[in-house]
Amino acid sequence: MRIVSVRDAVVPIASAIANAYIDFSRMTASVVAVEVEAAGGRRVTGYGFNSNGRYAQPGLLRERFIPRLLETSGDALVHADGGLDPAGAWAAMMRNEKPGGHGDRSVAVGVLDMALWDAAAKLAGVPLWKLLADRYNGGRADEAAWVYAAGGYYYPGKDVAQLVEEMRRYLDLGYTTVKMKIGGAPGTPPKEALAEDLRRIEAVLGLLGGDGSRLAVDVNGRFGLHTALVCAAALQPFGLRWYEEPLDPLDYATHATLAEHYAPPLATGENLFSMQDARNLIRHGGLRPDRDVLQFDPALAYGLVEYLRTLDMLRLHGWSPRRCVPHGGHQFALNIAVGLGLGGNESYPEVFAPFGGFADATPVAEGRIRMPDLPGIGFEAKGDLYAVLRREFG
């Protein structure tokens, strides 16, 4: 088994939207193509990219992680089942990297890790969800994954009626649960901002027949404890699906305090990039394994090799994989959700194309989506994404 070549490119995923913390006007992604040759001489190309929220990582890729990956070959890349084992490549990529301070390094490794899993499944001739079920889940895969429509972003001139229209489009596409941004009313004092958010939430709840369990709200880490508690008290009666990233993602003690005062589900984790950071959240964040939602995104957090460690850590602490609903809305996490029995996956029906979204011929029905039966992650069945990969890599 050997790595024949690794190519990378930087592509835009810019759009005019904003959450409570950043706008996406200059967002980029790294894309990679990794060609692998198996013992019999068969070659496949795996593709990877980083999901939204972090930028492309050409420097880290070209200076450290691609050269190390190219130096890896032989038994280190072979799984017990005879196929490609991305764990061996992962160990080689992380050689001479100190622990802690994960930063953007976890994004660069995650991009390559995604491509290696795509290649592993292609070499095995099966979809990634099936490879994962067979290797790690006793052969059990879910029939479909629960997905929810994430959107409700701020953009200039967007009013409440447009927000409700957007959410209606998601319901028309087959989603039953939607997510909207809060905490970002531009330039507004906190009290007025909360009143404005409550108006936006109530309008969307009107569309959902008043059913709070079909609506999640996302603060993107904008609040301090005081604002998070004030907002929590206002949200409590709605019984929302979840209250997401109300606080700084690394401030675990403050999450624990909030959890003492807000009984409905909290969600966080999209900005934690290693098993160790996830473990600190579990140890110190006061989250509740019977209701809270963990959103670690393998594409940003050292890939699936690390995500498998995170799932092991969660089991050790009494958390089911069903509590995990990864951030990022990409096919990689959707395969993981189906193959390893997660709680579901995020979806962005109108933003972050072409990296968000799933295979073209797999519509959402009653909030669930099935997987295509195609070797690899399934990028070849997603026209807009495959066009970008073909343009960059031929």
Contact residues for ligand OAA, defined by CB under 6 A: 19, 52-53, 150, 218, 220, 270, 327, 346
> Is residue 218 within the footprint of Mg ion (CB under 5 A)?
yes
Q: Which residue is nearest to Mg ion (CB)?
A: 218
Q: Is 327 a known active-site residue?
A: yes
67/72 Cα distance (integer angstroms):
9
Does 244 count as an annotated binding residue? Answer: yes
Does 35 count as an annotated binding residue? Answer: no
CB of residue 23 to ligand OAA, shortest distance in Å:
10
* Cβ-based nearer residue to Mg ion, 197 or 218: 218
* Cβ-based nearer residue to Mg ion, 54 or 64: 54
Does 373 count as an annotated binding residue? Answer: no
CB of residue 87 to ligand OAA, shortest distance in Å:
28
> Is residue 8 within the footprint of Mg ion (CB under 5 A)?
no
The residue from 181, 255, 330, 382 that is catalytic is: 181
Does 179 count as an annotated binding residue? Answer: yes
* Cβ-based nearer residue to ligand OAA, 120 or 351: 351
* Cβ-based nearer residue to ligand OAA, 72 or 345: 345
CB of residue 346 to ligand OAA, shortest distance in Å:
6
> Is residue 346 within the footprint of Mg ion (CB under 5 A)?
no
197/182 Cα distance (integer angstroms):
6
Residue 150 binding target from ligand OAA, Mg ion, none, CB below 5 to 8 Å by type: ligand OAA
Does 153 count as an annotated binding residue? Answer: yes
The window from 216-224, 257-265, 299-307, 346-354 that contacts Mg ion (CB under 5 A) reads: 216-224
The two three-digit tokens of residue 315, written as one number: 């089991």
Does 19 count as an annotated binding residue? Answer: yes
Instruction: State the residues that interact with Mg ion by CB under 5 A.
Output: 218
User: So which residues are the catalytic ones?
Assistant: 181, 327
List binding-site positions. 19, 52, 98, 153, 179, 218, 244, 270, 327
